[in-house]
Amino acid sequence: MTDSHGRTIRDLRISVTDRCNFRCVYCMEPDVRFAPRESLLSTSEIIRVARIAESLGVRKIRLTGGEPTLHSELAAIIAGIRAATGVEIAMITNASLLTRDALREWKAAGLARVTISIDSLRPDRFARLTRSTSSPADVLAGVERTIAEGLTPLKLNAVLIRGFNDDEAADLAELARLYSIEMRFIEYMPLDSGHTWDSSKWVSAAETRAAIEDRFPLIARDDDDPSSTARTFAFADGAPGRIGFIAPVSSPFCGACSRLRLTADGKVRPCLFSTTEWDLRAALRAGATDDHLADFLIDATWTKQPGHGIASHDFRQPARPMSAIGG
Ligand code: SAM
Ligand code: SF4
């Protein structure tokens, strides 16, 4: 499945729900309205799309949300995708619901890897940032359980916002050393439901890297997968772990993008910043055959825009926030 700019799709991100138990300031406003339940794809619809996507060349599926662990049938979704496909199944989560039993159930169902978001190590700040009752200690306990259950390699994600948590770059980077994992810093993107993003709150990957290097000098690695979103670095002192920078704003990686997104309500989005959506749910519910659905995905992919254009003067933030797209 290729687009009109010659890029091949290998990676499908499926949002299983737009609901979340957090209200991160850079993602969801407290009064966000969720899609009606009947508009969300069912477990069998999600599995069917995954199977067809694999037949078109998708090799990796990442389950996301909202918060995917809130889905009552998450294990069945994972097991169904595993039974229907040979793709690698990963998940991204805020770690608030990572009990040992849940992790074991998802792993037994076929989940291979987990990515966990953590934006602050200071309890008061974490509470203000996530507007949740969870804490950094809860997230780190989830990290430890995930590693213990072997859902690895584990990655951590952080978004830094100026004046909020941008002084924690080195502290968060230290988690990579402590847990021998990859700690990734994602530039804040204009995808918040409050539409409050502005460049004064944005912290560049270069600035984040400089702040980390004040404490932990880094060495660029040269084995990054070209379609990877992150540029990764090792610690110069040989400590374990690595640091990744995902810089969609300062260094767009659109030219190597291999991703397609399916929202919880069944819309195909060729790009995070797409302003046009493709209503796969309507086709699914109108009785489309597998061949028709495959053609639908091929056609949607063909329209994938060359880039997101965040830096251009006529950039328009998509109406859907990150939580309703699936990051
Ligand atoms: N709830 C899960 C979580 O937070 O990990 C999964 C969904 S969340 C939308 C996926 C990722 O998107 C998280 O790592 C989050 O930090 C990131 N994200 C959300 N809003 C963002 C924004 N405006 N800019 C950059 N990253 C964002
Ligand atoms: Fe929820 Fe994840 Fe968005 Fe935070 S970033 S509000 S945890 S979906």
Q: What range does the domain containing 128 cover? A: 11-325
Distance CA 13, CA 202 (A): 25
* pLDDT at 308 > cutoff 90: no
- Residue 117 included in any domain: yes
pLDDT tier, 194 (very low <50, low <70, confident <90, very high otherwise): confident
- Residue 1 included in any domain: no
Structure tokens at 107: 């792993």
Angle between helices 205-213 and 169-179 (to 10 degrees): 70
- Residue 6 included in any domain: no
Q: Which of 56, 19, 40, 81 is nearest to 285 (CA)?
A: 40
Q: What mean pLDDT is predicted for residues 127-133?
A: 96
Query: Which helix (H) or strand (E) element contains residue 211?
Result: helix 205-213
- Residue 4 included in any domain: no
- The ligand placed nearest to the CA atom of residue 66 is 2
CATH of the domain at 216: 3.20.20.70
The structural domain count of the chain equals: 1
Poorest-pLDDT segment among 84-93, 150-159, 224-233, 274-283? 224-233
Q: Which pLDDT score, from 0 to 100, does residue 240 have?
A: 97
pLDDT tier, 57 (very low <50, low <70, confident <90, very high otherwise): very high
- Residue 5 included in any domain: no
Q: Which residues of 227-237 are buried (b: 16+ CB within 10 A; e: fewer)?
A: eebbbbbbbee
Poorest-pLDDT segment among 82-86, 221-225, 230-234? 221-225
Q: Which pLDDT score, from 0 to 100, does residue 133 have?
A: 94
Q: What mean pLDDT is predicted for residues 195-202?
A: 89
Distance CA 136, CA 94 (A): 11
Q: From its phi and psi, is residue 131 left (phi > 0), alpha (psi between -120 and 50) or beta? A: left
Q: Which pLDDT score, from 0 to 100, does residue 60 have?
A: 97
Residue for token digits 């061949």? 291
Q: From the CA of 27, how far away is ligand 1's center (Å)?
A: 7
Atom of ligand 2 nearest to the CA of 27: 3
Q: From the CA of 286, how far away is ligand 1's center (Å)?
A: 32
Q: Which pLDDT score, from 0 to 100, does residue 303 have?
A: 87
Check pocket membership of 92 for ligand 1, CB cut-off 6 A.
Answer: yes
Q: Name the percent of the chain lying above pLDDT 70.
A: 99
Q: Which of 70, 11, 81, 12 is nearest to 43 (CA)?
A: 81
Atom of ligand 1 nearest to the CA of 248: 25
Q: From the CA of 282, how far away is ligand 2's center (Å)?
A: 27
Q: Which of 232, 219, 214, 228 is nearest to 169 (CA)?
A: 214
Poorest-pLDDT segment among 29-38, 152-161, 240-249, 301-310? 301-310
Number of Cβ atoms within 10 Å of the Cβ of 256: 12
* pLDDT at 312 > cutoff 80: no
* pLDDT at 260 > cutoff 80: yes
pLDDT tier, 108 (very low <50, low <70, confident <90, very high otherwise): very high
Q: From the CA of 131, how far away is ligand 2's center (Å)?
A: 10
Q: Which pLDDT score, from 0 to 100, does residue 178 have?
A: 98
